[in-house]
Amino acid sequence: MSEEELNERHAEKMRRKKAAREKILATKTIEKGLLIVHTGKGKGKSTAAFGLIFRALGHGFKVGIVQFVKGAWDTGERVVLDKFPDQVTVKVMGDGFTWDTQDRARDIASARAAWDAAKEMIADPSYRMILLDELNIVLRYGYLPLEEVVETLKAKPDDTHVIVTGRNAKDELVEIADLVTDMTQIKHPFRAGVKAQVGVEF
Amino acid sequence: MSEEELNERHAEKMRRKKAAREKILATKTIEKGLLIVHTGKGKGKSTAAFGLIFRALGHGFKVGIVQFVKGAWDTGERVVLDKFPDQVTVKVMGDGFTWDTQDRARDIASARAAWDAAKEMIADPSYRMILLDELNIVLRYGYLPLEEVVETLKAKPDDTHVIVTGRNAKDELVEIADLVTDMTQIKHPFRAGVKAQVGVEF
């Protein structure tokens, strides 16, 4: 095939693709706040959530962040959040990873305090986006009643986006979510003996 | 089992988990810049990459961004990048999605210009992190010689992190990457008729 034929064929293919895409978009008319879940064993669950949070901040939206497991954050994220002091509310409730505290009763109390803060944010429709970071971990350990969490999330204001992160998302949460992404690990530097480092790993 | 026994058993389990974790971390001693690939059909590939970029900015690092496909970005991200004017270099080289331009020759020229800008950044060790956004798309369409891209990435400075995003990452790229995550779509709001919206979809 000549270069010209190749180009013409390509243009035709792209015209069809564009038309198909526009047709799909035209059928999507419901605008609403989404319940988004980032789960899976791979990297990027919280990082992608922060990407959404930063984007929302760029749009001037008010956002809330509840950290259910302390120690999971990189200081770099705080520096960026601090650029938007009037738009962000951050609640850091965890007392550390569970393998650090080794104290189940204290972990349960921390989870409850974090969840109470989260419920308050969810009830306030002025928040356009709320990140419940590592909530899945807390649910997996059974530190909060799943039913209460599911009911609260189902009743969130229509315009509020809520993002839940962490491995092992509960089926009941996936069931009610609008958008679920599994970050699947294909290759990890730990296998090659590379140390966790500032700016990429926490 | 009594609550007390449950707590004691939990503490013992967490002690073992912590010890195992520390043992693993102790063996990881190589510090180096990573080649990171975000691929897959799910959401979050570029968003997670921007999360890493923002984190790096928070650490005061100099970062470079090359956008291979125009139109993929949300304006919110630009607002956040603009908060760090001295640390960020952005090159927007694409002329639009290929299904918008419908012009293969122009797309190839755009890809070449973007790649030349990327190569310049990669050759400059003052960049600590470089995002090659949607490079996978361009490679998939065959708009750049894969071998040249692979050789350049293999020869990147040791301390530079390079992130490549986009669906359908080439096997040759996955092969040389340090960290590869596949964003796997479990559930997408399009299925439920929800429209793309500011702050979540581009």
Average pLDDT for chain A: 85
Sheet containing B63-67, strands listed edge to edge, beginning at the edge strand earlier in sequence: A88-92, A63-67, A129-133, A161-165, A35-39, A179-187, B179-187, B35-39, B161-165, B129-133, B63-67, B88-92
The alpha-carbon gap from B73 to the nearest alpha carbon of chain A, in Å, equals: 10
CB B32 within 8 A of CB B156: no
Check CB contact under 8 Å for B194 and A76.
no
Residue A179 structural domain: 33-185
Q: Does residue A164 fall inside a structural domain?
A: yes
B119 and B178, same domain (yes or no): yes
Q: Which chain A residue has its CA at the smallest distance from B174's CA?
A: A187
Region A69-86 average pLDDT:
85
Q: Does residue A6 fall inside a structural domain?
A: no
Phi, psi of B56 (to 5 degrees): -60, -40
CATH number, residue A147: 3.40.50.300
Region A66-77 average pLDDT:
80
Among candidates B59, B99, B196 on the partner chain, residue whose Cβ is nearest the Cβ of A28? B196
Residues from chain B contacting residue A34 (CB–CB below 8 Å):
189, 194, 200
How far is residue B55's CA from residue B50's CA, in Å, rounded to a whole number? Answer: 8
Check CB contact under 8 Å for A186 and B200.
no
B129 and B164, same domain (yes or no): yes
B18 and B107, same domain (yes or no): no
Q: What is the pLDDT along chain B (202 residues), one digit of tens a residue?
A: 788 888 888 888 878 877 776 766 555 444 589 999 999 988 889 999 999 999 999 999 999 999 998 766 678 889 999 999 999 999 987 665 566 667 888 889 989 999 999 999 999 999 999 999 999 999 999 999 999 999 999 999 999 999 999 999 999 999 999 999 999 988 766 555 555 555 554 3
Q: Does residue A195 fall inside a structural domain?
A: no
Q: Does residue A171 fall inside a structural domain?
A: yes
> Which stretches of chain B are assigned E, i.e. beta strand?
35-39, 63-67, 88-92, 129-133, 161-165, 179-187
CB B183 within 8 A of CB B39: yes
B26 and B36, same domain (yes or no): no
Q: What is the count of structural domains for chain A?
A: 1
B62 and B76, same domain (yes or no): yes
pLDDT in tens, A118-151: 999 999 999 999 999 999 999 999 999 999 999 9
B66 and B147, same domain (yes or no): yes
B42 and B17, same domain (yes or no): no
Q: Does residue A190 fall inside a structural domain?
A: no
- The percent of residues above 90 in pLDDT, for chain A, comes to 57
The alpha-carbon gap from A169 to the nearest alpha carbon of chain B, in Å, equals: 12
B23 and B46, same domain (yes or no): no
B182 and B108, same domain (yes or no): yes
Residues from chain A contacting residue B24 (CB–CB below 8 Å):
190
B97 and B163, same domain (yes or no): yes
Q: Does residue B193 fall inside a structural domain?
A: no
Q: Does residue B170 fall inside a structural domain?
A: yes
Q: Does residue B115 fall inside a structural domain?
A: yes
The predicted pLDDT at position A201 comes to 47
B80 and B172, same domain (yes or no): yes
Check CB contact under 8 Å for B44 and A48.
yes
ipTM of the complex: 0.72
B70 and B148, same domain (yes or no): yes
Q: Which chain A residue has its CA at the smallest distance from B103's CA?
A: A11
* Beta strands at A179-187 and B179-187: parallel, antiparallel or unpaired: antiparallel
Check CB contact under 8 Å for A179 and B188.
yes
The predicted pLDDT at position B94 comes to 66
The alpha-carbon gap from B119 to the nearest alpha carbon of chain A, in Å, equals: 22
CB B79 within 8 A of CB B85: no
CB B51 within 8 A of CB A50: yes
